[in-house]
């Protein structure tokens, strides 16, 4: 079964063809980074216009690269939530139109289910496990019992982890996109140059929650308070100290979830899952089986959407063609299922 997956929730126009939820026949990602760079962040209006301009050539390229024609495709999947409304509507409407015109089944996919599925495109992973979904908009620790059977254990009470990377990079003028640049700078910095505090949300229902607004404020507005004067305040040292704390926050909550659930397989997904320090720190935990998607599948892509689409379609699920986009997903809250 070959599924065409379309992803346009933020600033990547992406399409892929995936066979049987596993074999990636093509994975085309047209990044809009150069258009948003001068604003040090995604400009929604520019993003939607670029998606509208690029969606047809990107989908055509995905089919060509896969060596298939539209007639060979068994189903069409597109992200419909969460994300930037104008961006989501382009890929979703394109996918629905294609499905209507060809009479093929259509399925609308939750972007975060896609991020979680990314690792499944590269390895066989058994359920249940703990999911670590970390991106520009989300920081989620969840118990995953099936591709769409997810129990949210913890989430951020304020900013998402990727957002903190982006904002710190923007403030210090490191460049855009922030996460990749901080990761790179940090390799030549000393993580002990500053000791930023780890938020203490440890009680009751907040046991697995994370918070990044305090860290962001500390790094941006109170850096002198936490800086060790033995170190020079270089971009590399700032990046390394910030990154160290950002990753520690995630791991501390994840370890609580491991202890409480007894689950030792961790599957990461989302842009921040590309972070080299997060990967290294989790690799040190030899008692855990930590599975990361290949780097190209961490950030937004159509293959992960095609993968989830396959699972739904194989089960007989379809979305009606009046399904619409949704910028926020209220069910991504602690304690609720999916």
Binding-site residues for substrate sit at 133-137, 166, 179, 183, 275
Phi, psi angles (nearest 5°) of residue 76 = -125, 130
Going by the annotation, the residues of the binding site are 111, 115, 133-137, 166, 179, 183, 275, 300
Residue 246 · residue 212 · CB < 8 Å: yes
DSSP-derived secondary structure letter, 63:
H
Q: How far is the CB of 26 from ligand KG4 (least distance, A)?
A: 19
Q: Does 309 bind ligand KG4 (CB under 6 A)?
A: no
Smaller CB separation from Zn ion, 9 or 245: 9
Q: How many helices (H) and strands (E) does the chain have?
A: 12, 10
Q: Which residues pair with 6 in a beta bridge?
A: 15, 78
Tell which one of 21, 189, 271, 293 touches ligand KG4 (CB under 6 A). Answer: 271
Strand arrangement, sheet containing 289-291? 149-154, 139-146, 129-134, 265-269, 289-291
Residue 227 · residue 233 · CB < 8 Å: yes
Determine the interface stretch with Zn ion among 14-22, 39-47, 130-138, 215-223 (rule: CB under 5 A): 130-138
Determine the interface stretch with ligand KG4 among 36-44, 53-61, 204-212, 266-274 (rule: CB under 6 A): 266-274
Smaller CB separation from ligand KG4, 13 or 263: 13
- The gap from C-alpha 41 to its chain's centroid, in whole angstroms, comes to 16
**In angstroms, what CA-CA distances link 326 with 94, 116, 162, 196, 329?**
16, 19, 21, 36, 7
Smaller CB separation from ligand KG4, 199 or 269: 269
Q: Does 183 bind ligand KG4 (CB under 6 A)?
A: yes
Going by the annotation, the residues of the binding site for Fe cation are 111, 115, 300
Q: Hey, what are 328's tokens? A: 């926020």
* Ordered DSSP codes for 249-286: HHHHHHHHHHHHH---EEEEESGGGG-HHHHHHHHT-T
Number of residues that bind Zn ion (CB under 5 A): 2
Q: How far apart are CA 105 and CA 268, in angstroms?
A: 29
Determine the interface stretch with ligand KG4 among 67-75, 171-179, 280-288, 302-310 (rule: CB under 6 A): 171-179
Determine the interface stretch with ligand KG4 among 72-80, 91-99, 162-170, 319-327 (rule: CB under 6 A): 162-170
Determine the interface stretch with ligand KG4 among 69-77, 178-186, 208-216, 282-290 (rule: CB under 6 A): 178-186
128 preceded by cis ω (within 30°)?
Answer: yes
Question: What stretch of H or E contains 296?
Answer: helix 295-298
Tell which one of 242, 272, 300, 319 touches Zn ion (CB under 5 A). Answer: 300
* Ordered DSSP codes for 216-237: HHHHHH-HHHHB-TTS---HHH
Residue 175 · residue 235 · CB < 8 Å: no
137 contact choice in ligand KG4, Zn ion, none (CB below 5 to 8 Å, kind-dependent): ligand KG4
Sites for Zn ion among residues 134-163 (CB under 5 A): 135
Smaller CB separation from ligand KG4, 81 or 334: 81
Tell which one of 148, 159, 166, 244 touches ligand KG4 (CB under 6 A). Answer: 166
14 contact choice in Zn ion, ligand KG4, none (CB below 5 to 8 Å, kind-dependent): none
Say if strands 265-269 and 149-154 run parallel, antiparallel, or are unpaired.
unpaired
DSSP-derived secondary structure letter, 243:
H
Q: Does 275 bind ligand KG4 (CB under 6 A)?
A: yes
Residues near ligand KG4, by CB under 6 A: 10, 135-137, 162, 165-166, 177-180, 183, 270-272, 274-275, 299-300
Residues near Zn ion, by CB under 5 A: 135, 300
């Amino acid at each position: 079964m070959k599924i065409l997956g379309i992803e346009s929730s933020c600033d990547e126009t992406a399409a892929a063809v995936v066979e049987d939820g596993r074999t990636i026949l093509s994975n085309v990602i047209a990044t809009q980074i150069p258009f948003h760079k001068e604003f040090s962040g995604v400009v929604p209006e520019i993003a939607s216009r670029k998606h509208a301009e690029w969606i047809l050539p990107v989908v055509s390229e995905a089919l060509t690269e896969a060596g298939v024609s539209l007639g060979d495709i068994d189903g069409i999947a597109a992200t419909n939530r969460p994300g930037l409304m104008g961006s989501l509507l382009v890929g979703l409407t394109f996918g629905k139109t294609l499905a209507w015109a060809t009479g093929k089944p259509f399925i609308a996919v939750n972007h975060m289910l896609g991020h979680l599925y990314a690792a499944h495109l590269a390895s066989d992973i058994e359920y249940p496990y703990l999911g670590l979904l970390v991106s520009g908009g989300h920081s989620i620790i969840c118990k995953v019992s099936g591709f769409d059977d997810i129990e949210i254990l913890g989430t951020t009470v304020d900013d998402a982890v990727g957002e903190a990377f982006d904002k710190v990079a923007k403030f210090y003028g490191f460049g855009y996109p922030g996460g990749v640049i901080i990761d790179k700078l940090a390799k030549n910095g000393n993580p002990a140059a500053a000791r930023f505090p780890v938020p203490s949300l440890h009680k009751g229902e907040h046991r697995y929650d994370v918070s990044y607004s305090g860290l962001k404020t500390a790094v941006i507005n109170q850096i002198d308070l936490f800086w060790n004067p033995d170190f020079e305040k270089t971009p590399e040292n700032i990046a390394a100290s910030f990154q160290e704390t950002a990753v520690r926050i995630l791991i501390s909550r994840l370890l609580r979830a491991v202890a409480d659930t007894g689950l030792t397989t961790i599957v990461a997904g989302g842009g921040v899952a590309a972070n080299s320090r997060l990967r290294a720190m989790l690799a040190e935990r030899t008692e855990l089986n930590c599975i990361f998607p290949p780097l190209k599948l961490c950030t937004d892509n159509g293959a992960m959407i095609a993968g989830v689409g396959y699972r739904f379609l194989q089960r007989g699920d379809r979305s009606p063609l009046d399904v619409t986009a949704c910028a926020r997903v209220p069910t991504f809250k602690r304690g609720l299922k999916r």
